[in-house]
Amino acid sequence: MPLPNALRGPGERRLRELVVTFTPEQIADYAEASGDRNPIHLDDDFARSVGLPGVIAHGMLQMGLLARVAGDPARLRRLSCRFAGMVRPGDTVTFRATENGDQVGLSAVNQDGQPVLTRASAELRPTEAARP
């Protein structure tokens, strides 16, 4: 599914946004696909027993969604972020990217406006048209 370009301005800045409401099924599917079946992602009782508020989403699931909003995966050269907050089933996270040339500023905030990923950025390979 292509992401909308909500803004085009000087330097071909483009803003992309992806809004995801996390579900227990999505988290379980990611656990199965990734092989990361840590019970903090699958078992509320276990997660609470280790001091968490319940099941939390995988950080790499969030980072994968961040990569999706970053731009064309064939151009992705580097992606970085810091995991800053827990995402629970039922949380809605807005992933945003502002692209300016080969640099992409990224953010991810929950429904309360709290960052869940910080210091997020990506670097893209130049497009064919931009190469000398």
| pLDDT tens figures, 32-73 | 999 999 999 999 999 999 999 999 999 999 999 999 999 999
Residue 96 lies in a domain: yes
How many structural domains is the chain composed of? 1
Mean pLDDT in the chain? 90
- The DSSP line for 94-111 is EEEEEEETTEEEEEEE-T
Residue 75 lies in a domain: yes
Residue 65 lies in a domain: yes
Q: Is the C-alpha dihedral spanning 21, 24, 30, 36 positive or negative? A: positive
Better-scored residue on pLDDT, 1 or 82: 82
Residue 66 lies in a domain: yes
Average pLDDT over residues 2-22: 69
Residue 14 lies in a domain: yes
- Domain with 122 in it: what CATH number? 3.10.129.10
Residue 32 lies in a domain: no
Residue 61 lies in a domain: yes
For residue 14, name the pLDDT band (cuts at 50, 70, 90): confident
Could you list the residue range(s) of the whole structural domain that residue 92 is in? 10-23+57-130
Residue 92 lies in a domain: yes
Rounded to an integer, what distance in angstroms lies between the CA atom of residue 55 and that of residue 87? 9
pLDDT at residue number 130: 54
